[in-house]
Amino acid sequence: MSKTIKNLKQFSTANERFEGAHLLCPGCAHSMIVRELMNCTEDNLVLSTNTGCLEVSTAVYPYTSWDSSWIHIGFENAATAVAGAEAMYNAKKRKGTLPNPDAPVKFVAFGGDGSTYDIGFQWLSGAVERGHDFTYICLDNEVYANTGGQRSSSTPIGASTTTSPAGRVSYGEKKMKKDIVGIMGAHGAPYVAQVAPNKWKDMVKKLQKSLETEGPCFINAMSACTTEWKFDPKDTISVSDVAVDSLVFPLYEIIDGKELNITYRPKNILPVRDYLGIQGRFKHLFKPENQHVIEQWQKDVDARWEYLQRREEARV
């Protein structure tokens, strides 16, 4: 059972299970998200992680940063790895051969956007369709950060990446990002949500809900990337604040693939321009010839917000 977390003071009494001296970049949001997940429950955890920044930074022989059992197999199959472990749990529970039969456990898989939106999508989709009791958390930094900043299908329009670089005749990535939350909602998963680590309370609530919900749950967690988004490591939270207040990363949840709830409405909605302006990856968009991309961005964000609000009202 998840513990009740009323405020930060109380939350801070959690005994960390994600250890320091991992090798993630200074200011990385990945570890903020992982810490919140591991601190929001006292249940035992069985974790898996796709290849990516989190994986290569937390289990480099001879050190592990995990105080719970953890497995990494490949780039694409963390969902299936944890699904296999969950199946083993069910089998051993039925047969009465579990080593700690009464201990509560939750199964959680992590992946970056590259392994979630792209190379591991099939494995994720399969595991969710089969209904395993697990939570999948996508640490969405909109780029293959681990391998040096190549575009993924989560990379948003106008972003300059090492495989969609801005140049003399290009403004960078040409497409808006894939709607992974909508796609996972369309699987009919019992609980799907988008979170951002700066809104810790909203995030903890959703993480706990996903752990407590029986069946496959999906969380898309915005993970501002100091290295590839190109901002100062100290600004991870302030960049994240602008991301949610400009509605670039709206916070919402979808229950049973139907009911959509917006969980955060900014008091003052910031223009997308403010979000783009604080990251090096969008610097070139402020040249006169690229103004149309910023306009397109704003239109897309407005349209998305309109859609979410209508979905919320419609209750279908």
Partner 1 sequence: MAEKMELKEVEVWDGNMAYAQAMRQAQIDVVAAYPITPSTPTVQNYSKFLADGYVDGEFVMVESEHGAMSGCIGAAAAGGRVATATSSQGYALMMETLYQASGMRLPIVLGVVNRAIAAPLNVNGDHSDMYMGRDSGWIHVATYNPQEAYDMILCAFKIGEHMDVRLPVQVHQDGFISSHTAQNVRPLQDEDAYDFVGEYQEKNAMLDFTKPVTYGAQTEEDWHFEHKAKQQKALMDSRPVIDEVFEEFEKRTGRKYNRVETYMMDDADIAIVALGTTVESARAAAQIMREEKGIKVGVVSPRVFRPFPYEKMQEALANVKAVATMDRSAPGGTVGMLFNELSGALINTDKRPVLTNYIYGLGGRDMTIENLKTIIEETNANAEAGKLTVPTQQFSGLRGPKLSFF
Partner 2 sequence: MQKVGWDEVSAGTILDSFSQEVDNSALVRPEDRPYADTNSYTASVADWRVLKPVYNRDICIDCQNCWVFCPDTSIISRDKKMIGIDYDHCKGCGVCVEVCPTNPKSLLMFAEQDDNEEALSQWPEKKKKGE
Binding stretches for partner 1 (CB under 8 A): 44, 46, 48, 55-56, 59-62, 64, 66-74, 76-77, 80-85, 87-92, 94-95, 97-100, 103, 105, 122-123, 125-126, 129-130
Q: Give the pairing type, strands 44-49 and 69-71.
A: parallel
Buried/exposed code over 289-303 (b: 16+ C-beta within 10 A; e: otherwise): ebeebbebbbebbee
Minimal distance, residue 57 CB to partner 1, in Å: 9
Please tell me whether residue 256 binds partner 2 under the rule CB under 8 A. Answer: no
Under rule CB under 8 A, residue 88 binds partner 2: no
Give yes or no for a contact between 21 and 63, defined as CB atoms under 8 angstroms apart.
Answer: yes
- According to DSSP, residue 114 is labeled I
- DSSP 8-state secondary structure symbol assigned to residue 284: G
Q: What are phi and psi of 137, to 5 degrees?
A: -115, 115
Which residues neighbour 195 within 8 Å (Cβ) at sequence distance 6 or greater? 33, 202, 203, 206, 207, 219, 220, 221, 222, 251
Q: Which stretch binds partner 2 (CB under 8 A): 4-12, 83-91, 152-160, 259-267?
A: 4-12
Nearest distance from C-beta of residue 65 to partner 1, angstroms: 9
Distance of closest approach, residue 224 Cβ to partner 1, in angstroms: 25
Closest-CA residue to 159 (of 144, 139, 137, 180): 144
Partner from partner 1, partner 2, none contacting 238, C-beta within 5 to 8 A by type: partner 2
41 touches partner 2 by CB under 8 A: yes
Residues 6+ apart with CB under 8 A from 120: 50, 75, 76, 77, 78, 79, 111
Q: Which of 15, 102, 214, 315 contacts partner 2 by CB under 8 A? A: 15
Packing angle, helices 29-39 and 236-245, rounded to 10: 80
Residue 130 vs 310, nearer CB to partner 1: 130
CA 219 to chain centre: 6
Cβ closest to partner 1, residue 103 vs residue 169? 103
Task: Give the residue from 105, 117, 112, 114 showing the smallest Cα distance to 137.
Answer: 112
Task: Choose the one of partner 1, partner 2, none that binds residue 255, judging by a C-beta under 5 to 8 angstroms depending on kind.
Answer: none
Asked if residue 6 binds partner 2 (CB under 8 A), the reply is no
For partner 2, the binding residue among 56, 73, 183, 237 (CB under 8 A) is 237
- Tell which one of 67, 256, 274, 306 touches partner 2 (CB under 8 A): 67
Q: CB–CB of 206/178 below 8 Å?
A: no
Minimum Å gap between C-beta 59 and partner 1 is: 4
Part of the chain binding partner 2 (CB under 8 A), chosen from 36-44, 124-132, 208-216, 295-303: 36-44
Residues 156-215 that bind partner 2 (CB under 8 A): 197-198, 200
- Angle, helices 121-130 vs 78-95, to 10°: value is 30
Q: Which residues bind partner 2 (CB under 8 A)?
A: 8-24, 26-32, 35-36, 38, 41-44, 58-59, 61-68, 103, 197-198, 200, 226, 232-238
